[in-house]
Amino acid sequence: MKQDSDNYVALGFGKDYAWIDLANSLEWNGFGKLTDRLQDPAWASHIVKHWNLAPPPPRPAPLAQLIALRTLLRRMAEKLIAGEALDERDLNALNSYLNVLVRVKLFQRQNGVHSELVPLRPGWPWILSRIAASFVEMMELNRPDRLKYCPNEGCKWIFYDRTKANTRRWCNDRTCGNRDRVRRSRSRDKTTTRTKSSKSD
Q: How far is the CB of 157 from Zn ion (least distance, A)?
A: 5
Q: Which residues pair with 36 in a beta bridge?
A: 26
Q: Measured at the alpha carbon of residue 39, what is the angle toward residues 125 and 22, in degrees to the nearest 5?
A: 50
CB of 160 to Zn ion, least distance (A): 14
- Comparing CB distances to Zn ion, the nearer of 97 and 157 is 157
DSSP bridge pairs for 113: 108
Nearer to Zn ion, 77 or 132 (CB): 77
Residue 98 near residue 73, CB atoms below 8 Å: no
Residue pair 61/99 in contact (Cβ under 8 Å)? The answer is no
Q: Give residues in contact with Zn ion (CB under 5 A).
A: 150, 152, 155, 157, 171, 176
Minimum CB–partner distance for residue 147 and Zn ion (Å): 15
In angstroms, the CA 136 to CA 122 distance is 21
- Cβ of residue 166: shortest distance to Zn ion, in angstroms? 17
Nearer to Zn ion, 65 or 172 (CB): 172
Instruction: Pick the closer one to Zn ion by CB: 100 or 155.
Output: 155
Nearest to 122 by CA among 106, 100, 137: 100
Give the number of residues written for the chain: 201
Q: Is the CB of 26 or the CB of 136 nearer to Zn ion? A: 26
With beta carbons less than 8 A apart as the criterion, state whether 108 and 143 touch. Answer: no
DSSP string, 114-144: EEEEEESS-SHHHHHHHHHHHHHHHHHTT-G
Min separation Cβ 109 and Zn ion, Å: 41
